[in-house]
Amino acid sequence: MNILLTGATGFVGRRLLDRLSQGFAYNLTVAVRSQHPEIPAHSVLIESLDSTTDWISAVENKEVVIHAAARAHVMKEEVSDPLAEYRRINVEGTLNLAAQAAAAGVRRFVYISSVKVNGEQTELNRPFNENDAADPHDQYGLSKNEAEEGLRRISEDQGMELVIVRPPLVYGPGVKGNFATMVGLVAKGVPLPLGSVNNKRSLVSLDNLVDFIVTCVDHPAAANQLFFVSDGQDISTTELLLSVGQAIGKPARLIPVPAGMLVFGATILGKKALAQRLLGSLQVDISKAHDVMGWVPPLSVEEGLRRCFVTENAL
């Protein structure tokens, strides 16, 4: 099967590249902005990811496109108009690729979206499912939602199969952002006032996400479907910190502080959004992935974390 993969130098894309390069099932082409010696697959150079990109040579004779490239959430924004930049890359760039892929006869387009299309929080034990309306709360989530809407129009007009995958927080070797900060604090033995948080969060290990994406490449039932994906084990922030400590061999030092006090303190300090991520729930229902494709996460959260840190320590 001839596949084009974008975003192969990114966090998810690198692991996808490794998985798709194994064996002889896939004839893989990778789209990159510059040559990377660590990329063994055949590559094509693209100058940018926007409405002007010429994808003709990249999509020629391809059966499937996996689009993992995107402008991700930026911790320290440096552009003057972030929404315009998100739209230029995540919306215009995605739809330009999809339109050229459809015109070239690509059969299936697998799009890596985000749970942020649905929002930032769920009620406890009331996870998002594929029938819930989109409700993005930030510019990244808005751009992903707009890209999904445009992809559906192209799919319907051109007859190209579309698969949309919405993962929650993805963790694995090399993870950055808030997850990496949290791991660093546990590793340093910093006491954290998060010993009695009773929320529930869905996570997905890098290996579980990649396994699901690869399943979507050629599974007949995946055509024109939207899926949530996770490890299938929703855990609290307290449980996650304890599991991280166990995985790195340095017990988490957690102090039981009532959630209400934490929210109050965070609000005073202007950190309400951070408190929401630590204390609020964000769950996704992956029963559709099982019911439609028979997919079950290969790794537990514990195994995902163990592999994450074993791999990092080996580097």
The closest alpha carbon to 187, from 239, 248, 237, belongs to 248
Classify residue 224 as left (phi > 0), alpha (psi -120 to 50) or beta. left
Structure tokens at 289: 């992935």
CA 60 to chain centre: 27
**Using CB atoms within 10 A of its CB, is residue 257 exposed (0-12), middle (13-18) or buried (19+)?**
middle
Q: How far apart are CA 93 and CA 88, in angstroms?
A: 6
Q: Are 228 and 286 in contact (CB under 8 A)?
A: yes
In angstroms, the CA 172 to CA 158 distance is: 36
Collapsing DSSP to helix, strand or coil, 106 comes out as coil
Residue identified by tokens 């445009």 is 150
Q: How many CB atoms lie within 10 A of CB 215?
A: 18
Residue 140 annotated as catalytic: yes
Active-site annotation holder among 26, 111, 140, 171: 140
DSSP state of 49: S
Query: What angle do the packed helices 177-187 and 237-248 form, to 10 degrees?
Result: 60
Chain Cα centroid distance, residue 177: 13
∠ CA 137-183-287, nearest 5°, is: 55
Catalytic residue numbers read 140
